[in-house]
Amino acid sequence: MKRCIVLGKANVGKSLFVLSFAEYLGVQKVSVTIEEPGRHGQSRTVSVRDAMAQWVSDTPHQTRALHAVQLELPVGKGVKRFELVDTSGLSEGIPRETAIRRAMAQTLAAVREADLVLHIVDASAAAQEGAVEAIGEVDFQVAHFAQMKGGYLILANKMDLPTAKEGLERIRQEFAGHPVIPVSARTKDGFREVKRYVWRWI
């Protein structure tokens, strides 16, 4: 089964994107495998709505484990199953807490093994002057590495917010040469294009 990793800084909308995309593909209940560092994955089935209430949040580093959501897409007469994996947010600096470093290390390892990397950046924050928090060195390094590996897409999220247009411009400039799709995890705008791209990689 192909694995598609969703990553990005804290609070850019990774968790909402994963669940919202699952909803877009027409599922109300998702089977999620929760992979904590150093432990076997625990699977359970939850409704998308409950998962959203639980996992989408304004506090950074909510997600300390990988949440692999099992999904399928129609291919020819059958379906292709794939995993969409929500990860703990990346930080610019070295995290102080060991548990967060372990969770992030898990994300790094997952990126190496992924078939497809969806890199989310917050377009609504990207245009604020000197927004180190919005796009920074870690984002450039991810882009550099993931592109070389192949199967890499940047999602400029929160396009429903007023400052996002300008942010998208900046993202396109800064990541010139990388594919960027504007989306809103809230309104599901842009999901058609994302689906098409994912379809091609699984």
Partner 1 sequence: MHAMAMSPGPPHTAEEVLDLFEQGKLSPAEAFSLFRRLHQTGKVPAVHVPAAAAPRAKAREEDDEAERRRRLQEAEAELMSLIGLDPVKRLVKEIQAYIAIQQRRSAERLVSEPLVLHMIFKGNPGTGKTTVARILGRMFKEMGVLPKGHLVECERADLVGEYIGHTAQRTREHIKKALGGILFIDEAYSLARGGEKDFGKEAIDTLVKAMEDHKDQLIAILAGYQREMEHFLSTNPGLRSRFPIHIDFPDYSADELLQIAHLMLRKREYRLSAAARAKLAALLRTEAGKADPNFGNARLVRNIIERAIRRQAVRLVRKARISRDELMLIEEVDLGEVSAG
11-19, 40-48, 114-122, 134-142 -> range binding Mg ion (CB under 5 A):
11-19
**Angle subtended at Cα 53 by Cα 52 and Cα 58, rounded to the nearest 5 degrees:** 90
| Amino acid symbol at 187 | T
Check residue 109 for interaction with partner 1 (CB under 8 A): yes
Check residue 15 for interaction with Mg ion (CB under 5 A): yes
**What are 28's two structure tokens?**
């109300």
Chain-centroid distance of CA 129 in Å reads: 24
Q: How many residues does the chain have?
A: 202
28-36, 70-78, 128-136, 154-162 -> range binding ligand GDP (CB under 6 A):
154-162
Give the whole-angstrom CA distance, residue 176 versus residue 155: 14
Structural contact between residues 157 and 122, judged by C-beta atoms closer than 8 angstroms: yes
* Residue whose CB is less far from ligand GDP, 119 or 158: 158
* Residue whose CB is less far from partner 1, 53 or 75: 75
Structural contact between residues 94 and 138, judged by C-beta atoms closer than 8 angstroms: no
Contact string (CB under 5 A) for Mg ion, positions 45-84, x = contact: -----------------xx---------------------
Helix (H) or strand (E) holding 127: none
Which positions touch partner 1 (CB under 8 A)? 75-76, 90-96, 98, 101-102, 104-105, 108-109, 111-113, 115, 130, 132, 136-138, 140-142, 144-145, 148-151, 174, 176-179, 196, 200-201
